[in-house]
Every structure is written in structure tokens, then in C-alpha cells.
Structure 1
Amino acid sequence: MQFPEIWLRDNCQCKSCYLPQTRSRLPHGWHTKVQVRELSWCVDTQRLHIDWSDEHQSSFELSWLQARDFAPANRKRYLSDCYRPEPRHWSRQQYPQIQREFVYEELLQSDEALLQWLQQLAVYGLAMIRQAPLELNVLQTLCQRVGFMRRTTYGHEWHVSAQPGASNYAYLAQPLPLHTDMPYFEYKPSITLLHTLQQSDSPGGWNLLTDAFHVADLLRAEHPKAFQMLSETPVDWADIGSEKGLSFHNIWRAPVINLDVHGRYLRINHSVPQRDSHFSIPAEQVRPWYEAMALFVRLANEQACTFKTTPGDILTFDNLRLVHGRTGYDDTDRNVRHIVGAFLDWDIAYSRWRVLKQSLGYNN
């Protein structure tokens, strides 16, 4: 096992350095000059004892050390088993192999089923739930099994149906192009849940879903200049209006493809109706951006899988990763499409995932 000295001193588990009931380190300085004076190992207690050059003493359990080993294999295991599962990107052709269905009542009753649903969402970004009651409180009950809903300017839940004078493009019966929800929020809702109460009997109303991380993979490999343009150019996303007595003017500036410091995907931003007419970049960069974006949209449509939900279905997907839409449909008094939507946040979902893994013995 590998452990830097300064890290061991910083993580001393004695009463003056660590508070067990809160599982937190107490402030005790940085000790950048402190060195190990003597090491000893107790076979009976399976503990490592250290005498430090500052006259301090530390003691560490073997199991605690093993879980925090700096060796590459152990760090990789921790990141995938405890931090977050490694996402697996998929193409349209791979969709039949990665799709998975869950039963609503089993998610309410079984921790194992709930864990597998969260695992599926984390790895593939998509899961279908079947046999949900045709009631208005279904998403609230499901979200409470995870933690709590994410409230937005549209409330805790919203209803997607054709509405005259609609305040949001999704409330229209016209075709809804591929998009992510609410790119105009810095802290964008992470997981979208769509509960079908009524489905249009018209030929339209088909769901469209694409793994936009896979689209980004294609751009990165085959069109690097377009990838660079979409990952470096900030775009103004905006939403102006009112809902349930609340007036709002939301703006967030971020590229279409968001990367972390290691070049890994953080989130995708894309919504034609919510892309502001303000475009705060040098004028000479505008046309290249449009050309790159046209390529992104073409690839996203080519990679889209299609299906049509039925009453009782709950479509759940990662809103940071997937782009979704639907075909247009006819809406009349006798032909109604009614979807109830809600959001969860990944912070809450990952927390529940870790707690379930621990309680079910996966991390033992």
C-alpha cells in the first residue's frame, strides 16, 4: 500500500484531530514540515502506529488504510464503486441492448430494485418504469424513495399537454426537437421523470432520445474542430416568462459540450427555443459555431432511438447527458396527451445510491 506522510498526518484519527460522531477532521494545522520518526505495527489489533517529529502520535486500522490505499488500482476502484459508476456511452444500434425496464411498485418496496434503477441511470442515462398508477402523486412518491424533488420556476411538477397561449414550447402539440431541459440554469436539474397519464391515439407523440455523450465522442474522433468549437464557445441560454404567479428571467452562459479538467463530459446544453438571441462572442466565430452546431444536431437526430410510451409508463433519463424530444401529434378533446414531469438531482440520487450499496452489503 502507498501513503504520503503528509496525508497520514493530516488524517490522524486521534481525538484531537478527528470527531467520530460527525466523521470529520478537526482543524489542527497543515504540518507540512512534519515527518515520520518511527513506525510500528501491532499484530494483535491490526493497527499501524506512527510517532511524528512534532511529538504527535497516530494510530490507523488496517481496514481503514486498505480502503484509502493510494495505489492506482485502489483509487480506480473507489472512483467507480463509491464515487460514481463509470458511464457507458451508446449508439442508436446499441439501444436495444442497454435499455432496461423496472416495475413501479417494486421500486417502492425493494431497496435492491431501487439500487438497480439508480445504477442503470448512472451508467446508461436511461431507464423505463412500467405499471405506475394513473394518479397525480406518483412522481412525488417515487422521488421520496430517493430523497426529494428538485423544484424549478415551473414548480415541483409540471404538466405537458397542449395548452392555448402556452408559456413553454413543450406545451405545444408541434414537433419538439431534441433538447436538454433547462440549460439556462447554472445548477441544471439532473434527472428528468416523465409519467404518461394519457397518450395521444394519433400517429404522432413518439419519444426521441439520443445519448449526446456518444454524439460528442463522434465529433471528438471524426470532427475535432467542430468538437473544439462546441466545447469552448460559450452560448447564452435564457428563459423569460411567468408561471404560477412567478415572473422570471433566467440566463446561463456555457458551451454545448461541457468538460471537466480531465476532458471528461460534465453536461450537454442544447435547446433551440432557449438559445438566446444574445450571442456574446466575437462576430468571426459565429458562422463556425453554427456549422459545428448543425453537425451536432444532424448526428444527434441520426442517433435517436424512438418509442411511444403508454399510460402508466415513467420515462427516466439523465438530463445532463441525453437529448430528448418527440414528434408532433393531433390534440383534440377526444385525443389527449397528458404527461406529468418532475426532476431529481444527481447529488441526491448518488447519495441514495451509496447508502443503498452500503446497507445491501455491496461495499463490505
Structure 2
Amino acid sequence: MNGISSKVKVEFYEDSLLPKRQLKLQSAELTNQGRVLVVINDEKLQFPGEYLLRFCECAKCFSSACLSHIRSLSDLYKADLSLKSVTMSEDGKYIEYVATNDHSGRFTAEWLYNRRMTQQGWEERNAAVFLHKPCSWPVADKMHVEKATYSEVTETEMGMQKFINNLIKDGLFIITGTPDRRVADEFGEKTGLAPIMNHYGPNWIVENVPVPTNHAYSSYALDLHIDQAFLMHCPNIQLLHCMTQSEVGGESIMSDGIRAANLLKERHPEYFHILTTLEINQKDVISHYNQQQYYVANRSPTIVLNKDGDPVKFMFNSVAQSSFFSGSPEQYEEYERATKAFVGLLNECSITFRNEPGDIMVFDNERVLHGRASYDKRYERKLEGWYLSWDMMHSRLRVSNIKTAQN
């Protein structure tokens, strides 16, 4: 896969994700309501005077070094300012305002149009900036997991975009051809996607040990689950780098929580209601090999909905679930019936495959539940694991999109 090197640096700012246009101001006036009315390319647009004062682009109000508006809101509100006048440049490239304290500033036609307060305007901005649009998996036997090589992802923008876009869409991606060594820190240095620290460290090794402090550090099968549901802010993205694979067993089992939850809502709406409203305790009471002791706890519904009522996050881990139940015996019986139905659907929606040495399985830890088949402990199975955040992943994709557009 050829493409722009990830090492290429470009100048960019907040507007860089938006389309480039030929724009010209045709008129500008200050209304009796204190708004600025402009016409740009025959389109009438209005901006509150308070908005233009708040986001003034002059050197006193805006720092070009940190690309941020630095004017004190306390000072701005204390002065109780409003606009006194607005004029347009003769060439139609910008407007200039004067405030009641004689402070002045200017805004280009591009700046104003990119911030137009219309439905078309905010939909265009949101589509360019907010990139998280997951898609439910198809039926299991039609699910295809996208792949790219380690060098493509870490060294080219096309590889990076393929990686992140498919991870957003499917919640699952495989990076192949990874060097035969621990690469978590190297991956972070190459991509800008640094491992997230928690009480298991910035990265860790998953392998069978004589006295495991976590059930994953054994050769037993693991039920479908998310990692660290006991944290208030559980890890967004998990990477598991297969360094050594058992000759017998150890296959990965993955399931799309979104598809399973939507099927639960369709087939058993009463169970869906229980799992989206009843809070369940999760905990990690652990003493690591370094003797540090931890008691981490969280409460959350099993299925978390967004503001539109769609399932987006799954706080489900039977090994980490606490026996402290906040409800009545009847509620617990209902919860078990609902959970049994949900687990059945997770298994129905699951796919099973075998990671080979050099594969990094990357998945949305809050959406795609993962499990493992048991393996013969006579054979070594060794994985390197670490977590990433969606914030940095989205940031990396925005920068990549800007680099691609400018080159």
C-alpha cells in the first residue's frame, strides 16, 4: 500500500478539515438586535454580536501559537460589550467590527462561512470533525475482518486511515507482519498513539502462569467480556499482539455487542429494559506481583445507551462481576433471565479465528466483546497487550485526513 509518509508535517488549523471554496462577501450590516447580517456568495447569514466578540481573532484575543481564544471571559462579561459598527472590505474578503469600548477585530469570508449557523453548516462541520460512526456486524458467517500490515499502518497515511476507519466501523481490525518483539512503545512512537496507563501498567504480557492474578493469565477458556468494566472510565481500545500461539486451542472469539443488543431489543424488549436500567457492581480486588494492592469498583447497566436510545457500550464481565447486588431477589432473578438471553445472542453473533504470531488484534473494548478458547498449557501462548483511547485515535485520523487533502 503506497501513500503519504506518516512523518510528513503539514500546517493545519481548525478549518483544515472543511472544503476549500471561493468565497466573497457581498454585504455586511449591523442589525437592531445587535447581530451581524452578511451575504456571502448570495447566501444570507447571521451571527450574534456576542459570538463575534467571544471569538475575536485579533492578536490580543487569539493566540496563533496555541490556536486558542485566550481573552478572559470574566473581563469580557464585566465590560458588558456590544458591537458599535460593522464594515466590509472593498474586495469582499473580510468584515471589520468596532465594539463599544473601541476594541476592533476582523473576520474573513472563509471564517464566517465555515461557521455559518445553519443546519447545513453544523452538519458539514460535525461530519468532518466527529468521525465515530460504527456499523452493526452482518450475520457471523458474512463478517469480514479487515487487515493491513504493521509497516502500512505505522508508516503510511493510507494504511493509518484504513486502520482507523475500519476500527470505527467494525470495532475490529487485524495488523499483520508485526516484528517478533514487544512493540507497544514503538507503536506509540511511530503513530502518536501512546499506551494508556492503568493499574496493570502501560502494557502487559498475557500468558499462562502458575499463580495467576487475573483469570486471563491461565490456559482456561474465557467467556465473552469487555476488559476492566470495574473502571469508571474503562479502556476504549485494546490491542493484543500475538507473539507465540499455542499449537492446540487458544482461538479468539469476538462478538459485536451492538448487533446482539439490537437483537435482544427486538426479540426480548423486557430483557433489554432490564439490562439497560439495572446497575451491576463490578470489582477488581487484586494484589499484583509487585505487592501493590488495588480495590477498584464501578456500577453501571450492562448495556449503556446513547442520547438517542441506541446501545453503544457494554459493561459486561462475568469474572469481574461483584456478588454485591443492589436489588431485590425478584430483580436478580429477572436479571439472570435477561443475561442468559443476552449471552445466547452474543454467542450467536460471534466469530472465531486464530491469530498467528505477528498479528495484532485491535478492537473496540467497549463495543466488541472478546473471549478465548482454552488451550493446552504444555504449549506456550504469549500475547502483548495495551490500551488506546478514542480521543487520540480520532485526533490521529483528523490529522491524517488533513495531510491527505493537502498533499
- Say if 2:46 and 2:117, in contact at 8 Å, map to a contact too: yes
Aligned counterparts, 1:15-94, within 5 A: 15-25=59-69, 26-28=71-73, 29-30=76-77, 38-44=85-91, 46-51=93-98, 56-93=103-140
- Say if 1:247 and 1:118 are closer, same or farther in 2 by CA, change over 3 A: same
What are the superposed Cα offsets for residues 130-149 of structure 1, whole Å, 9 maximum, x if unpaired?
111221x2232113223311
1:205 corresponds to 2:205: no
- Say if 2:245 and 2:357, in contact at 8 Å, map to a contact too: yes
Give the whole-Å Cα distance in 1 for the aligned partners of 2:54 and 2:270: 44
Which stretches in structure 2 are left out of the alignment for 5+ residues? 1-44
- Say if 2:253 and 2:370, in contact at 8 Å, map to a contact too: yes
Counterpart of 1:287 (choices 326, 329, 333) is 333
Aligned to 1:130: 176
Q: CA RMSD in A?
A: 2.5
Aligned counterparts, 1:187-266, within 5 A: 187-202=233-248, 204-245=249-290, 246-266=292-312
Q: What TM-score do you get using the length of structure 2 for normalisation?
A: 0.80
Deviation of 1:226 (Å): 2.1
What are the superposed Cα offsets for residues 102-126 of structure 1, whole Å, 9 maximum, x if unpaired?
1012222213312321222122211
- Say if 1:59 and 1:283 are closer, same or farther in 2 by CA, change over 3 A: farther
Give the whole-Å Cα distance in 2 for the aligned partners of 1:227 and 1:278: 22
- Say if 1:191 and 1:320, in contact at 8 Å, map to a contact too: yes
Which stretches in structure 1 are left out of the alignment for 5+ residues? none
SS in 2 for 1:169: coil
Q: What TM-score do you get using the length of structure 1 for normalisation?
A: 0.89
Aligned to 1:6: 50
- Say if 1:190 and 1:344, in contact at 8 Å, map to a contact too: yes
Aligned counterparts, 1:334-345, within 5 A: 335-345=379-389
Q: After alignment, is 268-277 or 204-213 more displaced?
A: 204-213
- Say if 2:140 and 2:350, in contact at 8 Å, map to a contact too: no
Q: After alignment, is 253-262 or 307-316 more displaced?
A: 253-262
**Higher Cα radius of gyration:** 2
Aligned counterparts, 1:96-111, within 5 A: 96-97=143-144, 99-111=145-157
Counterpart of 1:302 (choices 331, 348, 369) is 348
Counterpart of 2:377 (choices 320, 331, 348) is 331
Letter in 2 for 1:242: S
Q: After alignment, is 316-325 or 27-36 more displaced?
A: 27-36
Give the whole-Å Cα distance in 1 for the aligned partners of 2:141 and 2:112: 41
Give the whole-Å Cα distance in 1 for the aligned partners of 2:280 and 2:120: 39
What are the superposed Cα offsets for residues 187-243 of structure 1, whole Å, 9 maximum, x if unpaired?
2111111111111111x2211111112222223344333222212221111011122
Counterpart of 1:143 (choices 158, 173, 188) is 188
SS in 2 for 1:197: strand
Share of identical aligned residues, percent?
Answer: 27
- Say if 2:146 and 2:174, in contact at 8 Å, map to a contact too: yes
Deviation of 1:264 (Å): 4.5
Give the whole-Å Cα distance in 1 for the aligned partners of 2:310 and 2:46: 27
- Say if 1:272 and 1:66 are closer, same or farther in 2 by CA, change over 3 A: same
Q: After alignment, is 5-14 or 121-130 more displaced?
A: 5-14
SS in 1 for 2:198: coil
What are the superposed Cα offsets for residues 11-40 of structure 1, whole Å, 9 maximum, x if unpaired?
222334333322222224348986655544
